[in-house]
Amino acid sequence: MASQGNVNTPRKYVKNYWAQHLFQTDDFSNVIEQEPFIVFNLRQHRTSDGTPYLRLELGDRTGRIPARIWQEDFERCNITELKEGDIVVIGGLLTEFNGKRYIRITELKRVTEFEVELTQLVANLLQEDVEKLYKELLDIIGTIQDPHIKKLLENIFKDPIISEAFKRSAAGETVHHDYPGGLLEHTLEMVHMAEAILPHYPEANRDIVIAGILLHDIGKIIEYETLRTNIRRTKKGHLLGHINLGIEIVNRFLSEDFPEEYKLHLFHIILSHHGELEYGSPLRPATIEAIIVSVVDGASSKVKQYQKELRTKKPDEYGFGEYHKYIRTRVYFSPWITQNEEEV
Ligand SMILES: [Fe+2]
Ligand SMILES: [Fe+2]
pLDDT digits over 260-305, tens only?
999 999 999 999 999 988 888 899 999 999 999 999 999 999 998 9
> Residue 344 above 50 pLDDT?
no
Domains of the chain: 19-120 (2.40.50.140), 123-305 (1.10.3210)
Q: What separation in Å is there between the alpha carbon of 279 and the centre of ligand 1?
A: 9
CA of 172 to the centre of ligand 2 (A): 9
Distance from the alpha carbon of residue 203 to the mean position of ligand 1, in angstroms: 24
Above pLDDT 90, what percent of the chain? 67
Ligand nearest to the CA of 275: 1
Of 30-39, 124-133, 194-203, 256-265, the poorest mean pLDDT is in: 124-133
Ligand nearest to the CA of 281: 1
Give the pLDDT confidence score for residue 307 in this predicted structure. 87
| Distance from residue 62's CA to the centre of ligand 1 (Å) | 24
Nearest ligand by distance to the CA of 213: 2
Instruction: Report how far ligand 2's centroid is from the alpha carbon of 75 (Å).
Output: 44
Mean pLDDT check: name the lowest of 34-38, 94-98, 133-137: 94-98
* pLDDT of res. 1: 37
Distance 310 CA to ligand 2 centre (A): 21
Ligand 1 mean position, distance from CA 189 (Å): 14
* Residue 165 CA, ligand 1 centroid: distance in Å: 16
- Nearest ligand (C-alpha, residue 295): 2
Average pLDDT over residues 98-113: 91
pLDDT at residue 183 above 50? yes
CA of 102 to the centre of ligand 1 (A): 32
Mean pLDDT in the chain? 91
Tell me how far the alpha carbon of residue 103 lies from the centroid of ligand 2, in angstroms.
33
pTM: 0.85
Three-state SS for the chain is CCCCCCCCCCCCECCCCCHHHHHHCCCCCCEEEEEEEEEEEEEEEECCCCCEEEEEEEEECCEEEEEEEEHHHHHHHCHHHCCCCCEEEEEEEEEEECCEEEEEEEEEEECCHHHECHHHHCCCCCHHHHHHHHHHHHHHHHCCCCHHHHHHHHHHHCCHHHHHHHHHCCCCCCCCCCCCCHHHHHHHHHHHHHHHHHHHCCCCCHHHHHHHHHHHCCCHHHHEEECCCCEEECHHHHHHHHHHHHHHHHHHHCCCCCCHHHHHHHHHHHHHCCCCHHHCCCCCCCCHHHHHHHHHHHHHHHHHHHHHHHHHCCCCCCCEEEEECCCCEEEECCCCCCCCCCCC
In angstroms, what is the span from residue 166 Cα to ligand 1's centroid? 14
What would the pLDDT profile of 191-250 be if each residue is shown by its tens digit?
999 999 999 999 999 999 999 999 999 999 999 998 888 889 999 999 999 999 999 999
Output the CA 93–ligand 2 centroid distance in Å: 38
Give residue 339's pLDDT: 54
- Return the pLDDT at 9: 64
**For residues 36 and 173, which has the higher predicted lDDT (pLDDT)?**
36
Q: How far is the CA of 299 from the centre of ligand 2 (A)?
A: 10
Q: In this predicted model, what pLDDT tens digit does every residue of 52-88 receive, in sequence order?
A: 999 999 999 988 899 999 999 998 898 888 999 999 9
If pLDDT is split at 50, 70 and 90, which confidence band does 8 have?
A: low
Whether the predicted pLDDT of 342 surpasses 80 = no
Report the separation in Å between the CA atom of 341 and the middle of ligand 2, taken as the mean of its atom positions.
28
What protein residues have CB closer than 5 angstroms to ion ligand 2?
217, 297
